[in-house]
Structure 1
């Protein structure tokens, strides 16, 4: 049986990913900062809960120990992320930038490093980093795509960094499938539920990557239509 951990799994794309993978027979851990909300989501879905704040080294280490004590891990979905400041770009500060990067990039580094020993013990390990087309040079320069109309310097930069981090991890860990998944413009709290896609549509790429076997691709940037240009 495949065991999967989803960070930020108590709502939105994370929760829907958990629901769908549970239906596929995965054992799913929902990682969440807020214990009350995380436990409630896990109880409602039939998942397991682990307290996990990706910005806190001690929290991440404790979560890895808890999951390891219950049998290990096969798939890590780095889903937790924040939009960051909505200030005018001219008013953004270094602190604003660090807050976004701490969750969206450094948080993935913390979590990946902590869970790497468990993944290396799996027969078919995988890491899926939930990125965004807003961090794709191809998408933001394509006038036919909504990404080209968005100005959000910090969030977009963090997702560009996350996608490149994915490529580098894929090279560094040849025994682990490491891929970046772009949900597309999906209605979630992150965008005030303004996206035209449902959370089910938005999780198509993540779920597809999670269900692939050991011979699946690595180092890709994928959306619900398949491999996408970066």
Structure 2
């Protein structure tokens, strides 16, 4: 790789001081969220206000034209995401009217009471749902319906929550809909199918992690038990 500048330890401190104010942004976002002060959305808005203040008052590099371009770009990217969210809620409405989640729960409960087989079938169901629905819609639509069956099978609700989250995370970056993948490609201005080809090994790794988390609950629940006990 070409060497643009020789590494010097003194430069590390110099660059850190220059970037110090900008590095406060993740502290503001994560500190506000984990501190219970703001929600994730409010944290993002707070970070924007902080960024405007830092660039305009502290660094004095505020550029109105750059701000206008950022607003246009963020508007386009938000429109892409909101179209996906709207379409997923329409699909969710259809599934609710057709009572497909209830039929799914009855079908799984009628086939087996073995918790590992139930988890296997729920894995498949949530992976497919994640490909077509936004995660919030899938959770609201299906989780309350299958939760009694999950508890009756003796599945830890925290373990089930981790499994659902992983399933939806994988589904949302797997076409045809892949809401997270489309949002990321919109921001990066990259082709969806080319990105998917590169993403396949990562999806494979996530699937392996999903299997480990599903069928070795002691591993996935270890951090929870270490922190909260039990």
TM-score higher than 0.5 here? no
- Which structure would you say has the larger Rg? 2
Length-normalised TM-score, structure 1:
0.31
Which structure is richer in relative contact order (CA contacts within 8 A, separation 6 or more)?
A: 1
User: TM-score normalized by structure 2?
Assistant: 0.31
**The structure with more helix, counted as a fraction of residues:** 2
